[in-house]
Amino acid sequence: MTQKTRQLGAVLYPGFEMLDYFGPLELFSVMGSDVVKIHTVAEKAGPVAAAIGSEGAVGPRVLADFGFEDAPVFDMLLVPGGAGTLSELENEAMLQFLHERCAEAEIVASVCTGSALLAKAGVLNGRRATSNKQVFALATMQSDRVEWVEQARWVEDGKFFTSSGVSAGMDMALEIIRKLWGEDSATTTASYTEYTWHRDAENDPFASDLNVLARQLGMA
Amino acid sequence: MTQKTRQLGAVLYPGFEMLDYFGPLELFSVMGSDVVKIHTVAEKAGPVAAAIGSEGAVGPRVLADFGFEDAPVFDMLLVPGGAGTLSELENEAMLQFLHERCAEAEIVASVCTGSALLAKAGVLNGRRATSNKQVFALATMQSDRVEWVEQARWVEDGKFFTSSGVSAGMDMALEIIRKLWGEDSATTTASYTEYTWHRDAENDPFASDLNVLARQLGMA
């Protein structure tokens, strides 16, 4: 049986969070490039620096294969969070790219504050979604047309998968693998990466940290 | 109180495993760059492609800030595993770099098959160490002067921390953070990244997969 190769657009921006991005990409990579072909994409092709904590884009640099203008069609989109989200919320090129590309994608996955970008781009209207717990207000203030879920490791609504902070993206990615390629693929991937998969989307050990950081930052 | 900034050399090579590298770097990054300054380093400065499963170096490209020749002194070293380990075991420049830089580092941490490189470089002689469970033989065949531990999430012996496969590197990194900067730093880092820390080095849920992949590859 031949199987369609899905094209995954993994979105980069200055100050993205490393594990938001490379956690899910690690798990998708185990499937092999004939199953998921990973493409890195940013506003412009070239180097994009990761966040170091709240310091912004001063971390390791990853090369974007494509700019928004010349990127191919994507079946799947991955939108990470990170300190750089704040700037991207004001970046029309990013919001327009997400708006256009989410419409044509089969699966859209965000990690951490990545869902704030999706909400601002208007693609989560009428959907259930979650976000990083410590800065939950950053997501909720982007749209009151989203049903924000305060207690969830990740939330699935139609083609949209939004996860809680950083590490939660890996549990969400395994669920996407399970949906698209079956239970065995997901468990094999978890074993290969020696990852203890937290399978229950509603089991959220970090819900009690709600807005801990947002209050320090004067957001909530 | 002013505290020494530790310089971390994060070693890249073609076909490194994404999560081996960015899992620990994510956790160290939460400490802030005045505590841990992350430097990416490879044989030559410039782009280095990550592994996609067993396909080798066809994944996302990360920029090495430094080549081996011009890299500054490192207090900490991070050595990831991945499909590219096989080639690096024959790369004298890599083995010599590890040999020299491990001697002067305060902490040396490897993830997955990264410990095979450390063993081949001769720096683990007389030490206890572990490695990826599914291809454990790749590590053990590099040296019989290392006491290889078959059941461990990670092993600490003096300044050497070697972890089991991929995700195990994150639990090891939190233990290094605990050792160097205290319990509060480790638990705060885990909460910030919404990571459920597996604190027990001896609790290894993947030990039963010993050499599953190595047998398929004819190594064991």
Domain with residue A146: its CATH number is: 3.40.50.880
Which residues does B137 contact at the CB level (< 8 Å), separation at least 6? B211, B214, B219, B220
B3: nearest Cα among B40, B32, B38: B32
Residue of A nearest to B58 (CA): A33
The domain in which residue A187 lies consists of 6-216
Is residue B1, in this structure, part of any structural domain at all?
A: no
Question: How does residue B2 score in pLDDT terms, banded at 50, 70 and 90?
Answer: low
Count of domains observed in chain A = 1
Q: What pLDDT is recorded for position B209?
A: 86
Which chain A residues are closer than 8 Å to B52 by Cβ?
Answer: 29, 32-33, 38
Report whether B162 contacts B130 (CB < 8 A). Answer: yes
Is residue B47, in this structure, part of any structural domain at all?
A: yes
User: Tokens 């027990």 sit at which residue?
Assistant: B200
Nearest to A166 among B38, B62, B194 (CB): B194
Q: What is the rounded distance in angstroms from the CA atom of residue B54 to the CA atom of residue B219?
A: 15
Report whether B152 contacts B130 (CB < 8 A). Answer: yes
Is residue B183, in this structure, part of any structural domain at all?
A: yes
Report whether A174 contacts A27 (CB < 8 A). Answer: yes
User: Tokens 């900490």 sit at which residue?
Assistant: B76
Q: What pLDDT is recorded for position B95?
A: 98
Is residue A150, in this structure, part of any structural domain at all?
A: yes
Q: What is the rounded distance in angstroms from the CA atom of residue A203 to the CA atom of residue A164?
A: 11
pLDDT for B1 beyond 60: no
Nearest to B47 among A63, A191, A213 (CB): A63
Is residue A1, in this structure, part of any structural domain at all?
A: no
Interval B107-165: pLDDT, tens: 999 999 999 999 999 999 999 999 998 899 999 999 999 999 999 999 999 999 999 98
Cα angle A34, A40, A42; round to 5: 155
Which of B20, B21, B26 to mutate to test binding with chain A, by most A CBs within 10 Å of its CB? B26
Which residues does B113 contact at the CB level (< 8 Å), separation at least 6? B81, B82, B85, B131, B132, B135, B138, B139
Is residue B96, in this structure, part of any structural domain at all?
A: yes
What's the mean pLDDT in B51-64? 95
Query: Average pLDDT for consecutive 10-residue bins of chain A (220 residues)?
Result: 86 97 97 97 98 94 98 98 97 98 98 97 98 93 96 96 93 97 95 90 88 85
Q: What pLDDT is recorded for position A38?
A: 98
Q: What is the rounded distance in angstroms from the CA atom of residue A213 to the CA atom of residue A86?
A: 14
Is residue B98, in this structure, part of any structural domain at all?
A: yes
Task: Report the catalytic residues of B.
Answer: 112
Report whether A39 contacts A71 (CB < 8 A). Answer: yes
Which of B58, B172, B193 to mutate to test binding with chain A, by most A CBs within 10 Å of its CB? B193
Nearest to B18 among A25, A47, A165 (CB): A25
Report whether A139 contacts A116 (CB < 8 A). Answer: yes
Q: What is the 3-state secondary structure (H, E, C) of B128-188?
A: EECCCCCCHHHHHCCCCCCEECCCCCEEEECCEEEECCCCHHHHHHHHHHHHHHCHHHHHH
Contact A60 B164 (CB under 8 A): no
Which residues does A68 contact at the CB level (< 8 Å), separation at least 6? A41, A42, A43, A44, A93, A94, A97
A176 three-state secondary structure: helix
Report whether A19 contacts B23 (CB < 8 A). Answer: yes
What's the mean pLDDT in B86-109? 98
Contact A61 B60 (CB under 8 A): no
Is residue A122, in this structure, part of any structural domain at all?
A: yes
